Amino acid sequence: MGLFDKLFGEFVDVIEWIDDTNDTMVYRFERYGNEIKYGAKLTVRPGQAAVFVNEGQVADVLGEGMYELETRNLPVLSTVLSWDHAFSSPFKAEVYFVSTRRFTDLKWGTKNPLMLRDAEFGAARVRAFGTYTVKVDEPEKFIREIVGTDGNFQVDEISDQLRNLITSRFASAVASAGIPVLDLAANYEQLGDVIVQRIAPEFGEYGLELTKLLVENVSVPPAVEEALDKRTSAGMVGNLDRYMQYQTGLAIEAGAENPGGAAGAGIGLGAGLAVGQQMANSMQPSVGRESAADALPPPLPASRRFHIAVNGQASGPFGNEGLQQRVDSGELTATTLVWSKGMAEWQAAGSVTELADLFQQDEPPPIPAA
């Protein structure tokens, strides 16, 4: 520092800091040899605090206002330097201006996906990001724990550490909350409040206060998003008839936009026929109109199945074809005992009405004489 700066420092008796930045947290007021005149004027503007440091020790902390530096408003420094009431000489001390305003729109986010156990999807990976607001709550502690002798401390010098704290606590908060992934969006505000409560003591150890934390988004991997979109689309289709009507309308619109193209003409013609058919169906009176299901004949009745007695053992059951084969082989005759569901006891096959046709003669009658 040159001679002019030395002389200027001797005569200037106003100590102040006009902050023209938006990211400076602490600024050290530079004076030649750190000499301050006794009775100098100190101006601490709103959103500031002035911290006096003497020989490496924090002495006095003054809030906003205008002060004339003397034993009355610097009691700790007066005691350390053994000032008496007649003291009027310059003294040495470092003055740190600490910005106590809120630093807003600070970013936080997860570097890697968080693994969660979701009740609906099982294991799930999510990412999250948002913003937070912080302010210096205890200037003396902040100087001791974080700033040290840094004469121009910026917010980005501590933002990485704060972001890591927030991300870690967010992971534990979400994992312990047990909120389904699809319901996280409805609980962003509650998550932010929980994280603020959990992390406040850790910020307090630095002399800081976490005043607000916002969760702006919690997202899942692209593959999961695609699956959710398909699931949502399937749910929105609902009635397939209405869905086809909607698709037909789109096809007509596309054909009308390209009337000269063969493809457009084909699409328009096919769509027009489809719409015409749908309109004709919708205009028919519902009374007396048979549905496609009503026009079909009733199903054929199932043939009755019978068990037959062969050598004292029950065999079967057999349907018409199986019974005919056994008649042809001689295994089933009119005297063979048979039984079917609904019969009280075994009966001779020839006495059962349903089986009478099996034992009729298939030979043609004799040819008449010429």
3-state secondary structure string, 189-240?
A: HHHHHHHHHHHHHHHHCCCEEEEEEEEEEEECCHHHHHHHHHHHHHHHHCCH
CA 350 – CA 370 distance, rounded (Å): 37
Instruction: Judge if 70 and 133 occupy the same domain.
Output: no
In a domain, 273, yes or no: no
Instruction: Judge if 70 and 114 occupy the same domain.
Output: no
- Domain's final residue, options 224, 258, 281: 224
In a domain, 248, yes or no: no
Per-residue pLDDT at 130 exceeds 70? yes
Which CATH number is 135's domain given?
A: 3.30.479.30
Instruction: Judge if 17 and 53 occupy the same domain.
Output: yes
In a domain, 241, yes or no: no
Ramachandran region of residue 303, left (φ > 0), alpha (ψ -120 to 50) or beta? Answer: beta
Instruction: Judge if 122 and 26 occupy the same domain.
Output: no
DSSP 107-131: EEE-SSPEEEEETTTEEEEEEEEEE
CA 36 – CA 91 distance, rounded (Å): 5
Tokens of 28: 């050290």
Q: How confident is the model at residue 210 (pLDDT cuts 50, 70, 90)?
A: very high
Instruction: Judge if 220 and 110 occupy the same domain.
Output: yes
In the chain, the number of structural domains is 3
In a domain, 118, yes or no: yes
β-bridge partners, 54: 57
pTM for the full predicted model: 0.56
Contact of 58 with 144, CB cutoff 8 Å = yes
Contact of 14 with 41, CB cutoff 8 Å = yes
Contact of 134 with 146, CB cutoff 8 Å = no
Listed residue (299, 359, 364, 362) closest to 323, CA to CA: 359
In a domain, 259, yes or no: no
In a domain, 367, yes or no: no
- The 10s digit of each residue's pLDDT in 20-65 is 888 999 999 987 766 788 888 999 999 999 998 887 788 889 999 9
- Domain's final residue, options 99, 133, 149: 99
Helix (H, G, I), strand (E, B) or coil at 156: helix
pLDDT score recorded for residue 138 = 95
In a domain, 284, yes or no: no
What's the domain range around 330? 306-359
Instruction: Judge if 135 and 206 occupy the same domain.
Output: yes
